[in-house]
């Protein structure tokens, strides 16, 4: 029996999307032995995918935003150890003392990405679901038949999230559409896209 991902884990794609980096950057951090990925059954789509700890968002965002630093493996390991032992899920990470006079203000260089990641994790578990009996298990907004993919389709076609809120008479808050959009953006359709407009 395959284990289900921990509530604070993200798929590799989710971590990359939330950190604003390529999937390759996250994969590289795993290949270097810094971040450890594990294959779990996904929260919404019931198939095995690789997951990483949520702190991967801060780690990769910090490296991206410190372009003037050429970190070696020791630096990267110290940063990862600090993130994993500080556990900033309840708030901020503050300043990391990485030795040799190097201090990183993680709230300044990766606080926005971390805030988005925390909000996404909480909202995904609260507002999104999947049921094999509803639209074949396609991830949807709880209590509706609105798929995450249809939200992305509307936005890609030019609608704003505010337009969607208005279409549903304000009964679905904007943050619900935001998490659905983030989910759809970080879980692209596998294979060749079909013709037509999936939100119709």
Q: How many CA atoms lie within 13 A of 15 on its CB side?
A: 30
Q: What percent of the chain has pLDDT over 70?
A: 89
Q: What is the pLDDT of residues 136-162, one digit of tens each?
A: 889 999 999 999 999 999 999 999 999
Domain assignments of the chain as residue spans, ordered by start: 9-127, 130-186
Distance, in Å, from the CA atom of 126 to the CA atom of 143, rounded to the nearest integer, reads: 11
Output the DSSP codes for 74-137.
HHHHHHHHHHHHH-GGGS---EEE-STT-EEEHHHHHHHHHHHHHHHHHHHHHHEE--TTSGGG
Is a pLDDT exceeding 50 seen at residue 195?
no
More confident residue, 112 or 98: 112
Quickly name the fold that domain 130-186 has: Arc Repressor Mutant, subunit A (1.10.10)
């Amino acid at each position: 029996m395959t284990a289900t991902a921990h509530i604070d884990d993200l798929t590799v794609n989710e971590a990359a999307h939330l950190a604003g980096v390529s999937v390759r950057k996250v994969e590289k951090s795993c290949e270097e032995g810094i971040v450890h990925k594990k294959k779990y059954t996904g929260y919404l789509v019931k198939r095995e995918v690789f997951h990483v700890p949520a702190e991967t968002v801060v780690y990769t965002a910090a490296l991206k935003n410190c372009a003037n630093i050429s970190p070696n493996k020791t630096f990267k390991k110290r940063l990862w150890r600090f993130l994993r032992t500080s556990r900033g899920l309840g708030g901020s990470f503050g300043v990391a003392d990485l030795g040799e006079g190097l201090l990183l203000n993680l709230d300044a260089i990766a606080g926005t990405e971390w805030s988005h990641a925390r909000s996404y994790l909480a909202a995904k578990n609260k507002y999104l679901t999947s049921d094999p009996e509803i639209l074949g298990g396609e991830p949807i907004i709880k209590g509706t038949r609105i798929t995450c993919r249809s939200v992305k389709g509307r936005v890609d076609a030019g609608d704003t999230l505010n337009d969607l809120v208005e279409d549903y008479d304000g009964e679905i808050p904007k943050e619900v559409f935001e998490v659905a959009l983030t989910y759809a953006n970080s879980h692209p359709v596998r294979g060749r896209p079909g013709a037509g407009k999936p939100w119709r």
